C-alpha cells in the first residue's frame, strides 16, 4: 500500500510540474499575408500546460482536431483511480491509452493550425514539444509501468501463497 502511494504521488508530481512548465512552442503566423509585413521567425509563443488544459477544453467545443489530445487528462485520472483500486490491468490499459491519445492528438497540431486570437488575424503553428509535454506523458507512463510490474508479480505471489 505504501509503495502505491509513493508512485501515485510521484506521478501526480510529474503531472503538476507539467502543468506549470512550458509544454509546446508555437510559431505565430498571420492568416492573410496580402499587404501584411512577413511574420518574424522569432515570433514564437511557449504555452504552459495549464493553458493547454484550459484551451483544450475550448478547442473541443469548437471541434478542433488537436484538442482531442485533451482527452488524455481524464483518462490519466481514471488510470490513477484504478491503480489505487489495485485494478492493475485496467490501469495499464488506461495509462497506455492516455499516452497514445495525448501524443497523437497533440502531434496532429503539426498539420492543423490553431487560432491565436479572436480577430482571426493570426494562427499558432506547432514548432516543437518542450519538457512539460514529455513530463505530461510521463505521468500516466509511470503508473502504467508500475501496473505492468504489479501484474507480472501477481502470478508469482499466487504460487507462493498456495505452497
Q: Highest mean pLDDT range out of 11-20, 59-68, 113-122? A: 11-20
Whether pLDDT at 69 is above 80: yes
Structurally, how many domains does the chain consist of? Answer: 1
Report which DSSP code applies to 62.
Answer: T
3-state secondary structure at position 55 = helix
User: For 58-65, what is the mean pLDDT?
Assistant: 76
Question: Where in the sequence is the domain holding 94, given as residue range(s)?
Answer: 2-162
Whether pLDDT at 84 is above 70: yes
pLDDT given at position 163: 45
User: For 46-52, what is the mean pLDDT?
Assistant: 85
3-state secondary structure at position 148 = helix
For residue range 101-121, what is the model confidence (pLDDT) as tens digits?
999 988 887 887 777 766 667
> pTM of the prediction?
0.80
Furthest-apart CA pair in the chain: how many Å?
Answer: 82
Amino acid at each position: 500500500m505504501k509503495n502505491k502511494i509513493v508512485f501515485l504521488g510521484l506521478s501526480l508530481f510529474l503531472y503538476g510540474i507539467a502543468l506549470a512548465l512550458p509544454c509546446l512552442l508555437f510559431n505565430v503566423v498571420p492568416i492573410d499575408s496580402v499587404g501584411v509585413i512577413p511574420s518574424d521567425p522569432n515570433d514564437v509563443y511557449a504555452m504552459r500546460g495549464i493553458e493547454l488544459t484550459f484551451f483544450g477544453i475550448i478547442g473541443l467545443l469548437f471541434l478542433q482536431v488537436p484538442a482531442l489530445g485533451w482527452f488524455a487528462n481524464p483518462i490519466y485520472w481514471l488510470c490513477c483511480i484504478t491503480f489505487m483500486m489495485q485494478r492493475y490491468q485496467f490501469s495499464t490499459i488506461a495509462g497506455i491509452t492516455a499516452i497514445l491519445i495525448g501524443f497523437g492528438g497533440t502531434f496532429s497540431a503539426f498539420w492543423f493550425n490553431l487560432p491565436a486570437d479572436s480577430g482571426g488575424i493570426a494562427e499558432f503553428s506547432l514548432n516543437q514539444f518542450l519538457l512539460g509535454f514529455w513530463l505530461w506523458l510521463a505521468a500516466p507512463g509511470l503508473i502504467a509501468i508500475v501496473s505492468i510490474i504489479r501484474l507480472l508479480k501477481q502470478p508469482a505471489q499466487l504460487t507462493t501463497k498456495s505452497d
